[in-house]
């Protein structure tokens, strides 16, 4: 499967073996390079490998280009030119193409309907790779799910994270192998290399089979339906009724051992392969509580509520049941990683066993219901929601979330305040304090690709993939995360997602200060007077509410405009 086209001869031999798929009924005429190539420059027609419908090919291990994103295609040609990618055919041709030709080709392919010519090898099934694609392997390898960046059902999220759905299986396997060996580079902060190095070859094949099996057009349609149903989009949505597709973990994930050896890589392992924050704790002898596996969820009425709770947790703002209480595009899982399972990212099992508890913020003992309602009030900015307030204690939203939390904590000892992995590790102050201007540089270098140049978050179609960090769609001035020390500690322990690089303490402090120096929705405790509100609820050194520390020097805390959703 992993044989690669080492020469034009082999390449063309493979090409001839592939029946050409029907050309799309595109309104626009394809550029001549697509259909005819340029024999004078030795360039064969693009459609030879990528096929007339732009859906790529298995035999050529050629990418689906149709609807893949104009900027992404332009970027890849550049990668072939500058050596970040190396391919015996594409590398020399990329250098022959003019920028105008590249632009025209990119525009043409992006405008095609999202066709796919992928074929999954008969020994693999879609379900085999679904687990890693949907859930990753956070507890063992801090491995994010593919969909956490590439969007639900791998439909792609912006220029940084291309669609995986409907990509040829052989292309996907090759690329993961190339990331792992270093044959392919240019990934932001080495994030794909970090992912690929954590995968075994067998796992890469399974994940490739999962995405290759997804019909690209249907995946986009289903992903767009998020918010109209109670389900997490999954492969099951794409399967004819009656065909079993329950998400079962592959043996590796279920047994919490990886399947086979890691993929080979050459050269020195990059240093972000060292212990992650959680790994450091583990090295010190901490062992983390393990919530039950998703496969252990009971098949009864309670299990149904647990499932609804997890679905709400991961799709809060768009979920049919909970969406009406959310005034922005946030989801619980945006902060509580691995759907609330991950140690060091405020795991739910630790909260479940430690409430009711006294909270200084409210100066009273809060129940778990009230604590969760607090998330809606502040992080979800319920005031701007359809309902305009938090879900009641009796609502399905609260009952489902509590059921989910309860189940995740199965076996955890009630009241264990020191359970390892609770909350996230406190971050000590640095000698240089924190500075939003320094933080702006950190943000641009390491955060903007996902969260957007203006903190607006990242989307796959209409689905939020990376949480907005400031502005109208972000948490409001009452959320704990608006405090710089809280944000710095969270960022240090958990960002970038999967810790493919590790920020220094100083970077974490500075970028937290930058993030929280922007306007965001009003504090729901706003008294009507900014100075008074600052005095009553803010005013610490870690809190820019009521200051002019933001990039534009305006008074912070007036609250961002609330657009209608």
Which residues lie near a second copy (CB under 8 A)? 300-302, 305, 349, 352-353, 355-358, 363-367, 369-370, 392-394, 398-400, 402-403, 406-407, 409-416
From the CB of 400, what's the least distance to a second copy, in Å?
8
Of 402 and 495, the one with the shorter C-beta distance to a second copy is 402
C-beta of residue 474 within 8 angstroms of C-beta of residue 454: no
450-472 burial: b if 16+ Cβ within 10 Å, else e: bbbeebbbbbbeebbbbbbbbbb
Determine the Cα–Cα distance for residues 37 and 31; give it in Å rounded to an integer. 9
C-beta of residue 208 within 8 angstroms of C-beta of residue 129: yes
Residue 512 vs residues 277, 354, 422: alpha-carbon distances, Å = 18, 27, 21
Determine the Cα–Cα distance for residues 447 and 394; give it in Å rounded to an integer. 38
Of 406 and 492, the one with the shorter C-beta distance to a second copy is 406
From the CB of 312, what's the least distance to a second copy, in Å?
13
Determine the Cα–Cα distance for residues 394 and 173; give it in Å rounded to an integer. 48
Of 164 and 306, the one with the shorter C-beta distance to a second copy is 306
Of 201 and 412, the one with the shorter C-beta distance to a second copy is 412
From the CB of 306, what's the least distance to a second copy, in Å?
9
From the CB of 301, what's the least distance to a second copy, in Å?
4
Determine the Cα–Cα distance for residues 34 and 40; give it in Å rounded to an integer. 15
From the CB of 418, what's the least distance to a second copy, in Å?
12
Determine the Cα–Cα distance for residues 2 and 399; give it in Å rounded to an integer. 48
Determine the Cα–Cα distance for residues 52 and 108; give it in Å rounded to an integer. 11
From the CB of 410, what's the least distance to a second copy, in Å?
4
Of 300 and 552, the one with the shorter C-beta distance to a second copy is 300
From the CB of 413, what's the least distance to a second copy, in Å?
5
Determine the Cα–Cα distance for residues 365 and 361; give it in Å rounded to an integer. 10
From the CB of 365, what's the least distance to a second copy, in Å?
4
From the CB of 382, what's the least distance to a second copy, in Å?
15
C-beta of residue 515 within 8 angstroms of C-beta of residue 434: no
Structure tokens belonging to residue 358:
């006294």
Of 17 and 365, the one with the shorter C-beta distance to a second copy is 365
* Helix 396-408, helix 301-314: angle, nearest 10: 100
Of 40 and 363, the one with the shorter C-beta distance to a second copy is 363
Determine the Cα–Cα distance for residues 38 and 26; give it in Å rounded to an integer. 22
Determine the Cα–Cα distance for residues 51 and 385; give it in Å rounded to an integer. 46
C-beta of residue 348 within 8 angstroms of C-beta of residue 425: no
Instruction: Find, among 284, 336, 283, the residue nearest to 309 by Cα.
Output: 336
Of 41 and 358, the one with the shorter C-beta distance to a second copy is 358
C-beta of residue 386 within 8 angstroms of C-beta of residue 326: no
Quick one: residue 409, left, alpha or beta (phi over 0 = left, psi -120 to 50 = alpha)? alpha
Q: Say how many residues make up the chain.
A: 565
Of 343 and 484, the one with the shorter C-beta distance to a second copy is 343
From the CB of 402, what's the least distance to a second copy, in Å?
5
Instruction: Find, among 507, 474, 458, 349, the residue nearest to 413 by Cα.
Output: 349
From the CB of 347, what's the least distance to a second copy, in Å?
13
> In degrees, to the nearest 5, what angle opens at C-alpha 389 toward C-alphas 388 and 391?
130
Q: Report CA Rg, the chain.
A: 24
C-beta of residue 174 within 8 angstroms of C-beta of residue 263: no
Of 13 and 393, the one with the shorter C-beta distance to a second copy is 393
Residue 109 dihedral angles phi and psi, to the nearest 5°: -65, -40
From the CB of 520, what's the least distance to a second copy, in Å?
26
3-state secondary structure of 200: strand
Of 372 and 449, the one with the shorter C-beta distance to a second copy is 372
Instruction: Find, among 493, 502, 496, the residue nearest to 458 by Cα.
Output: 496
From the CB of 416, what's the least distance to a second copy, in Å?
7
Determine the Cα–Cα distance for residues 105 and 32; give it in Å rounded to an integer. 9
From the CB of 403, what's the least distance to a second copy, in Å?
4
Structure tokens belonging to residue 167:
């990509």
Of 357 and 444, the one with the shorter C-beta distance to a second copy is 357
Of 364 and 548, the one with the shorter C-beta distance to a second copy is 364
Of 109 and 407, the one with the shorter C-beta distance to a second copy is 407
Sign of the CA dihedral 115, 118, 119, 124? negative
């Amino acid at each position: 499967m992993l044989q690669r086209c080492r020469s034009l001869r082999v390449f063309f031999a493979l090409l001839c073996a592939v029946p050409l798929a029907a050309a799309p009924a595109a309104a626009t005429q394809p550029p001549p390079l697509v259909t005819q190539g340029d024999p004078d420059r030795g360039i064969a027609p693009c459609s030879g490998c990528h096929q007339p419908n732009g859906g790529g090919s298995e035999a050529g291990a050629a990418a689906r280009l149709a609807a893949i994103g104009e900027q992404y295609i332009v970027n890849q040609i550049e990668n072939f030119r500058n050596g970040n990618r190396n391919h015996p055919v594409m590398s020399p041709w990329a250098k022959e193409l003019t920028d105008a030709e590249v632009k025209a080709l990119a525009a043409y392919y992006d405008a095609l309907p999202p066709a796919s010519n992928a074929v999954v090898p008969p020994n693999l099934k879609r379900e085999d790779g679904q687990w890693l694609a949907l859930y990753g392997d956070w507890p063992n390898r801090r491995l994010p799910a593919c969909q956490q960046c590439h969007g639900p059902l791998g439909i792609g999220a912006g220029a940084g994270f291309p669609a995986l759905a409907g990509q040829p299986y052989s292309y996907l396997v090759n690329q993961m192998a190339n990331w792992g060996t270093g044959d392919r580079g240019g990934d932001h902060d080495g994030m794909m290399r970090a992912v690929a190095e954590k995968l075994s070859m067998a796992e890469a094949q399974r994940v490739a089979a999962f995405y290759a099996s997804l019909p690209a057009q249907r995946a986009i349609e289903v992903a767009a339906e998020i918010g109209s149903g109670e389900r997490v989009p999954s492969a099951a949505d794409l399967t004819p009724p009656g065909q079993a597709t329950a998400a079962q973990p592959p043996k590796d994930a279920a047994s919490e051992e990886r399947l086979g050896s890691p993929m080979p890589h050459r050269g020195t392992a990059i240093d972000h392969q060292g212990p992650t924050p959680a790994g450091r704790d583990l090295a010190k002898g901490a062992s983390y509580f393990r919530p039950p596996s998703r496969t252990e969820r009971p098949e009864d009425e309670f299990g149904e509520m647990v499932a609804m709770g997890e679905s709400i947790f991961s799709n809060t703002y768009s979920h049919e049941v909970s969406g009406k209480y959310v005034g922005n595009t946030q989801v619980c899982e945006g902060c509580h990683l691995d759907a609330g399972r991950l140690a060091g990212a405020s795991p739910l099992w630790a909260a479940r066993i430690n409430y009711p508890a006294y909270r200084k913020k409210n100066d009273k003992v809060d129940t778990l219901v009230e604590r969760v309602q607090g998330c809606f009030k502040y992080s979800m900015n319920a005031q701007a929601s359809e309902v305009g307030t938090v879900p009641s204690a009796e609502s399905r939203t609260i009952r489902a979330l509590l059921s989910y939390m309860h189940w995740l904590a199965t076996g955890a000892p009630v009241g264990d305040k020191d359970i390892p992995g609770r909350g996230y590790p406190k971050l000590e102050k640095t000698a240089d304090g924190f500075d939003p201007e320094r933080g702006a540089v950190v943000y641009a270098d390491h955060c903007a690709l996902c969260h957007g140049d203006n903190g607006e978050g990242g989307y796959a179609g209409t689905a939020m993939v990376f949480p907005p960090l400031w502005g109208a769609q972000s948490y409001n001035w009452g959320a704990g995360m608006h405090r710089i020390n809280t944000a710095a500690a969270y960022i240090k322990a958990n960002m970038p997602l999967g810790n493919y690089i590790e920020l220094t303490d100083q970077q974490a402090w500075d970028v937290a200060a930058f993030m929280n120096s922007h306007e965001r929705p009003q504090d729901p405790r706003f008294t009507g007077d900014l100075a008074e509100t600052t005095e009553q609820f803010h005013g610490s050194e870690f809190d820019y509410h009521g200051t002019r520390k933001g990039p534009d020097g305006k008074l912070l805390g007036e609250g961002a405009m609330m657009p209608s959703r």
